[in-house]
């Protein structure tokens, strides 16, 4: 990355309390460079979802700042921010609602004013990137869960985002679908922030991992090193599958 290019994500001193008084974030600092794939780890209730909801302005910082590719996440920038930050939800059925796959993928660009051959090309390219072009005219509810998740990724890629945020991307996938999605994510030329409890998947896909715990960054480093730090993992209620040895994985 050029030294003059702003990072994909720059979070500074981010704090947030919900209206009921629950303080979810206590001053988070996080920088994700262009093209990085970073896993966001942490126990339930750590503040991961709260952080993600700040990235596209669904929540507004109580203190601190968030910038995406140098653009501050502020009301006046929200339309562009929401194009730049593509969030893929844990349940693809929360994202797919049109009669056909093609219409679902076209929805965002069409809403932004794209039409005709340009729109068709964007849809075709997005579906090709996830290996689903042959399913363009199928109803999403006729697809397998893994296929629907790939289409959900395509709906976000069609907007050409700066950063792709994935919420538990491997959940409910069979081993083949899990591998296929991993291959797709590795092939994408886009910054990835992956929120996951699937620690082997984090190791497979993300060279860097960040632990968010009790509303603060509690760890940040090479994924292999983070997962191999038994004390760090135990302090933040993160457990590897039985028999899984991070340093044994190349």
Q: What would you report as the CA-atom Rg of the chain, rounded to the nearest whole angstrom? A: 18
Written as tens digits, the pLDDT of the chain (250 aa) is 556 789 999 999 999 999 999 999 999 999 999 999 999 999 988 999 999 999 999 999 889 999 999 999 999 999 999 999 999 999 999 999 999 999 999 999 999 899 999 999 999 999 999 999 999 999 999 999 999 999 999 999 999 999 999 999 999 999 999 999 999 999 999 999 999 999 999 999 999 999 999 999 999 999 999 999 999 999 999 988 877 878 655 5
Q: Is 49 helix (H, G, I), strand (E, B) or coil?
A: helix
Domains of the chain: 9-239 (3.40.50.300)
Q: How many other C-beta atoms are found inside a 10 Å radius of the C-beta of residue 1?
A: 11
Going by their DSSP bridges, the two strands 208-213 and 216-222 should be labelled as antiparallel
Give the residue from 57, 49, 53, 56 showing the smallest Cα distance to 195: 49
pTM of the model: 0.92
Sign of the C-alpha dihedral computed for residues 136, 137, 143 and 145 taken in this order: positive
């Amino acid at each position: 990355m050029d030294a003059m290019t702003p990072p994909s994500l720059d979070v500074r001193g981010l704090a947030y309390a919900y209206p009921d008084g629950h303080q979810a974030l206590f001053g988070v600092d996080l920088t994700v460079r262009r093209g990085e794939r970073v896993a966001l780890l942490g126990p339930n209730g750590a503040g991961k979802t709260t952080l993600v909801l700040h990235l596209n302005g669904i929540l507004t910082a109580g203190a601190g700042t968030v910038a995406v590719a140098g653009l501050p996440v502020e009301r006046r920038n929200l339309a562009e921010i929401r194009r730049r930050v593509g969030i893929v939800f844990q349940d693809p059925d929360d994202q797919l609602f049109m009669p056909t796959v093609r219409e679902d993928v076209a929805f965002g660009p069409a809403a932004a004013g794209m039409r005709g051959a340009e729109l068709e090309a964007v849809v075709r390219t997005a579906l090709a990137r996830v290996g689903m072009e042959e399913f363009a005219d199928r109803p999403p509810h006729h697809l397998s869960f893994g296929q629907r998740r790939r289409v959900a990724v395509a709906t976000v890629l069609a907007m050409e985002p700066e950063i792709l945020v994935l919420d538990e991307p491997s959940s409910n996938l069979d081993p083949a679908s899990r591998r296929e999605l991993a291959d797709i994510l590795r092939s994408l030329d886009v910054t990835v922030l992956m929120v996951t409890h699937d620690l082997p998947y984090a190791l497979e896909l993300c060279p860097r991992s960040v632990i968010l715990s009790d509303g603060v960054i509690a760890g940040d480093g090479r994924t292999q090193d983070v997962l191999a730090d038994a004390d760090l993992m135990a302090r933040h209620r993160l457990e590897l599958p039985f028999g899984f040895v991070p340093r044994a994985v190349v």
